[in-house]
A and B are shown apart, each in its own frame.
Chain A
Amino acid sequence: MKIRIRFSKTEDLRFISHLDVMRYFQKALRRAHVDISYTQGFSPHPVMSFASPLGLGQTSEGEYVDIEVGSSQPSAQMVERLNAVMAEGIQVLGFRRLPDTGKTNAMATIAAADYQVWLQPEEWVPRASCLGYWESYLAQDAIVVHQKTKSREADSDIRPLIQEAQWREDGSFFLRLAAGSDRNLKPEAVLDGFFLWLEEAGALPQGQKPALRIHRLDLYGEQDGKRISLEDFGEDMV
């Protein structure tokens, strides 16, 4: 059966790369004696697929890995078993059974992601005096940013990919952004664009951007036109 594991990655674990987290999980599942299915061949490896890699330095409470198992105990017990062998900074939050049919592959179903972002230092861009700029920044018909990826470098309009954006009273930003393999927007791009906007308005000195502390809250997929948390594609086993 197919299982979706939700986990958090916090504290010092933010310095561990996505690739290393994948390797970590292979071992953790073995330590917890999860009855995971393996590929065939001389060096069988566990069948697992991870959703949307998290950047180095970022934390998250909405990470996912899908695995296949031969048998399982109830969800609550599996979560407990896994947490008994986890490192400080990684916690298993859910262990749910996915329906056997349908397009459930974690990576393929992703449509959006929620982030919370803090500025460091916070007072660098005072909310009280800059909130107006934030609103005018978002009110634009198009937000064209220059984006570089491994394969290409181009100007693109990110406005359609911003589904929700708030500058909250506690000073943090809440962003709901398009995510997935074809349309993916990083929270850095939204805020870099904002800093540029501030610079152009003379509200922020040139080249003095604050650092960002980025935390992923959750990943979502789409089903029948509705947005649902990746976790809710599965069901708790009792």
Chain B
Amino acid sequence: MRKLALSEDILLQAEKPARYTGGEINAVIKDREQVAVRFAMVFPDVYEIGESHLGMKILYHLLNARPDVWCERVYSPWMDMDRQMREKGIPLFALESQDPLKDFDFLGITLQYEMCYTNVLQVLDLAGIPLLAADRGEDMPLVIGGGPCAYNPEPLADFFDLFYIGEGEVSYDALLDGYKENRARGGSRQDFLRKAAEIPGIYVPSLYRPEYHEDGTLADFVPLCPEAPRKIRKVIVSQMDEAPYPLKPVVPYLKATQDRVVLEIMRGCIRGCRFCQAGMIYRPVRQKSVGKLLDTARCMQDATGYDEISLSSLSSSDYTELGPLLNGLLSECRDRKVNISLPSLRIDAFSLDVMSKVQDVKKSSLTFAPEGGTQRIRNVINKGLTEEEILSGAAEAFRGGWNKVKLYFMLGLPTETEEDMRGIAELAEKIAKCYYAEVPKEQRKGKVQITASASFFVPKPFTPFQWATMETEEEYLRRARLVKDTFREQLNRKSLHFQYHEADVTVLEGVLARGDRRVGAAILEAYRLGAIYDAWSEFFDMEKWREAFRRTGVDPDFYTRRPRQAEELFPWDFIDIGVTKRFLRREWERAMEGLVTPNCRESCSGCGAAVFGGGICHEN
């Protein structure tokens, strides 16, 4: 029997002891004496969030498929346990073996959102691993980062030994083999890092030195040894059907956010919305086949016992075989009493028909993400969703019995005018009117309920909007209030609700997203001042960050408010995502002109992602 790292006493005081005991169905247990490499896979947020993450599950499966590697899971201890562990000096451990992280060879930390950066430091700190890579000795684990935020790793460069740029399926074997070889040869940590720098997709930050112009912008990004390439190209899977997939994922006891089988149907997105980072970094679109997916779904249900299945992709409506896939799943799931939870599909006759089969129309709501309030701004962001499409979709749905609608918008988009802001409320009003026009009085079940929510736009690296200037916190709030006021003026205001996100987090996210290596000092200082769980509004404290910026002399405005020139060298430009900077710039210019660019299926715009030799770019 395993010995738990925490005493009974401490566990019973915890809010949810099951976050720390492991032992779930399908958790992989190996003999620690029989494996050559111990790998701890970290999701720097609470168990229920991390345990829902597909990327983690894929890597866990892939690494454990190697008999010489034991990959285990680690999540951020929740606040109550964080306190206990600090007070009692208990080192952070991995769930499977319950062994301290210090004993591991690798700590792989997945970086899904900027607001988890202080939790990265929390994990290192609780593990007793020096926060700065430069301070780590030979016997310390190698800390490797991956995930979408690794596409601008610079703010975290000081804390990581390596970053993995791209999809995990490709280069881990080379990395682990290289590690074993180096150890067999008696090589040092430094020897390994230099070797690793030659592996496709691997970035070793300590082997590069950024140089700056007097105005603070980046002048050069200099490799310090011959092994470190000037450009690091992301690595991606070209044949999705052949990629390993976790057929026996861990089934948590606790109710995870994703408490169901998750079926990844494709990677990438054809759309090219100009604000969307995922839409660019995961290019090109690559699909899995229906046959493969149906097999996978069956195996996963057998191995987990989940009674629900959901599809995962950036835009499931664009999956070309969606009809056959859903029909296949529907017929199988009916027999097995499995529910299908649908991702947000484009609302049309087909999707409404499917939705009415799998969910209770009275309870479920329709989701639209127009992102912008007017056609003008929707053209700017290249969101190919027209008012006509929204209204005709809504009308059809209202006739089918739906009466709840959710709308998602962004505020603070480049070129945004007051008309665009007011357009948010006006669009919501039009949808309400459509309900009253479509549904005769005697058939109405109460009022239509339209909920619009707005988040504030944060420019991300590797998007056409990476050149955009952000607004101030006050300005974001002013815009949100203007929208709110416009909602109050609408005839059907009683059927409309408007909510918006917090503005201070937005500004911080902006600094971290497009930050350079100098921002790391502020992250470290914020953590020392007690910032942690920044993604949780109940713990987020902007004051700590303001103080950290003051103390470290990092000026947030430099990263958010400064206009960026076309030719400026960005901290992330040493990464090659296939999509070229030239294409992104062209898209920025087209945005300024309000020109829409066709999606990959309509016609190829030559973005550069064709270099990977797979996916949609080579389908025709």
Contacts and interface: CB of A to CB of B under 8 A. Distances in A.
A15 B21 CA distance: 8
A124 interface: no
A198 to B, nearest CB: 22
A120 to B, nearest CB: 9
B359 A12 contact: no
A23 interface: yes
B304 A12 contact: no
B48 to A, nearest CB: 12
Contact of B305 (A11, A26, A43): A26
Interface in A61-107: 85, 87-89
Given A15-B18, A20-B18, A42-B339, 14 more contacts: A12-B23, A16-B17, A16-B253, A20-B253, A20-B254, A27-B25, A27-B251, A27-B306, A29-B305, A30-B336, A31-B305, A41-B360, A42-B360, A57-B12
Interface stretch (B1-9, B178-186, B262-270, B524-532): B1-9
A52 B210 CA distance: 64
A28 B26 CA distance: 12
A31 B339 CA distance: 16
Interface residues of B, number: 32
B337 A44 contact: yes
B502 interface: no
B9 A211 contact: yes
Given A20-B254, A56-B12, A57-B8, A12 B303 contact: no
Given A15-B11, A23-B255, A28 B305 contact: yes
Is the interface on chain A under 10, 10 to 19, 20 to 34, or 35 or more residues? Answer: 20 to 34
Interface string B292-311: 00000000011111110000
Indicate the member of A15, A20, A28, A42 with the most B CB atoms within 10 Å.
Answer: A15
Contacts of B2: 12
Interface string B570-581: 000000000000
Nearest to B14: A15
B9 A16 contact: no
B177 interface: no
A57 B358 CA distance: 39
B1 A11 contact: yes
Interface string B352-388: 0000001110000000000000000000000000000
A16 B18 contact: yes
Contacts of B18: 15-17, 20
Nearest to A37: B337
A88 B307 contact: no
Given A44-B337, A88-B23, A31 B253 contact: no
A45 interface: yes
Interface in A1-55: 11-13, 15-17, 20-21, 23-24, 26-31, 38, 41-45
Contacts of B337: 38, 44
A147 B23 CA distance: 35
Contacts of B23: 12-13, 87-89
Nearest to B259: A23
Contacts of B301: 30
A24 to B, nearest CB: 6
B8 A24 contact: no
Contacts of B360: 41-43
B24 interface: yes
Given A16-B18, A87-B25, A45 B307 contact: yes
A27 B21 contact: no
B307 A30 contact: yes
Contacts of A38: 337
12 contacts: A12-B21, A15-B18, A16-B17, A16-B18, A17-B16, A21-B253, A28-B305, A31-B302, A31-B303, A85-B305, A87-B24, A211-B9
Interface of A: 11-13, 15-17, 20-21, 23-24, 26-31, 38, 41-45, 56-57, 85, 87-89, 211
Contact of A23 (B4, B9, B253, B302): B253
Indicate the member of A13, A28, A43, A211 with the most B CB atoms within 10 Å.
Answer: A43
A171 to B, nearest CB: 18
Interface string B67-78: 000000000000
B11 A31 contact: no
A225 B601 CA distance: 76
A27 B304 contact: yes
A194 B214 CA distance: 77
Nearest to B338: A30
A11 B4 CA distance: 10
Nearest to B3: A12
Contacts of A211: 9
Contacts of A44: 337
A88 B24 CA distance: 9
Contacts of B251: 27
Q: Which 10 A-B pairs have the closest CB atoms?
A: A27-B305, A30-B305, A15-B17, A31-B305, A42-B360, A20-B253, A16-B253, A57-B12, A15-B21, A12-B21
Contacts of A27: 25, 251, 304-307
Contacts of A89: 23
Nearest to A10: B1
A13 B11 CA distance: 12
A88 B1 CA distance: 9
A60 to B, nearest CB: 16
Nearest to A38: B337
Contacts of A45: 307
Nearest to A20: B253
A23 B307 CA distance: 11
Interface string B340-352: 0000000000000
Contacts of A42: 339, 358-360
Given A11-B1, A15-B18, A20-B254, A43 B339 contact: yes
A83 B279 CA distance: 45
A29 B306 CA distance: 10
A187 B306 CA distance: 36
Contacts of B358: 42
